[in-house]
Amino acid sequence: MKQILTPRFSASWFVNGRIKLRQIQLLAEISRHGTLQDAADAIGISQPAASKQLADLESLMGLSLFDREGRRLVRNLHGEIMTRRALTVMAELESAGEEYKALIEGRAGRVAIGAIDAPKITILAAAVVELQTEHPLIDLDIISGSSGTLFDLLNAGEIEIMLGRPTEFSDSERFLYLDIAREGLAFIAGPQHPLRGRSKIPLEHIAAYPWVLQRKGSSLRQGVERLLHEHNLPIPTRVLNTDSVLMTLSYLARSEAIAVVSQPVAQLQAEFGQVAILDTAYEASISSYGILIPRNRPLPPAATTVMEILRRHAHV
């Protein structure tokens, strides 16, 4: 006598009924293979065990899921719903496994990088293009700031990798520093500035115009002050102090002011016609920048992948 089933679908029925993952696997394989024997083989259990798993599931649900046509199991309307969901569950679990594998192998995960302006342009941008192409599951956070600010974030574990200048606290016992290059400085002005096109402009002529400089105490500002001191010139009286590149560009476009910025920043803006790089009689630079990571905190797999790509682009 055929068992009469009564549907049971209260809230969280699958939890209260203790539905098993093996039953979900079985439904998915029945959908793929069509027979109970083939489905049982696919998940590595015997045909009688598979038959019991299916009977228990149908009893738990109070529904028949398949019509029997000889050896084949044909999904009815109830079976269509459950097998479709079972296939989705198994696909999601497979995807989760792939994501965990990617995390372990360094192909996925979140990596926070702190960077000053120069290496963003010379190294980081190209590295990000490669990372997003070759490792799209790595989620990058790029944080801007001064070397001092970024070092504090690195020391606190809020970023994994720093592109900037070493500080007095970044001793070689606790931090690995890979030197990349000195940061050159450039004098820039608006595209229509009166000094544009002139060669070997004396510093005295430049000093006659309003200036835009980074805030006092910054490495770039100190480099400019040293240059002026070497030529016995005072700091110009008309100075806008700002670390904002957007503010600098906007002010230059509306005035005859001159700014001193990182050489890579100047070259990038000049390529887009936003500024003119003035040909001065001087070459100025500030201290070197590089890659800084802590020695006592191993990099996660994804950060190790990022580090390898950064080193390749930086040639260090």
Instruction: Write the DSSP assignment of 153-184 as a string of letters.
Output: HHHTTS-SEEEE---TT--TTTEEEEEEEEEE
Q: 184-284, which class in CATH? A: alpha beta
Reduce the DSSP state of residue 195 to 3 states and report it: coil
Looking at the chain, the domain(s) classified CATH 3.40.190.10 span 108-181+288-314, 184-284
Residue 234 phi, psi dihedral angles, 5° rounding: -80, 165
Whole-angstrom distance, CA of residue 273 vs CA of residue 196: 13
Average pLDDT over residues 172-193: 93
What's this model's pTM, rounded to 2 decimal places?
Answer: 0.69
Q: What is the CATH number of domain 13-103?
A: 1.10.10.10
Looking at the chain, the domain(s) classified CATH 1.10.10.10 span 13-103
CATH 3.40.50.300 is the classification of domain 108-181+288-314: no
- Tell me the per-residue pLDDT of 256-289, one tens digit each, with 9 for 90 and over: 999 999 999 999 999 999 999 999 877 888 889 9
- Tell me the per-residue pLDDT of 18-39, one tens digit each, with 9 for 90 and over: 788 999 999 999 988 999 999 9
Average pLDDT over residues 128-137: 94
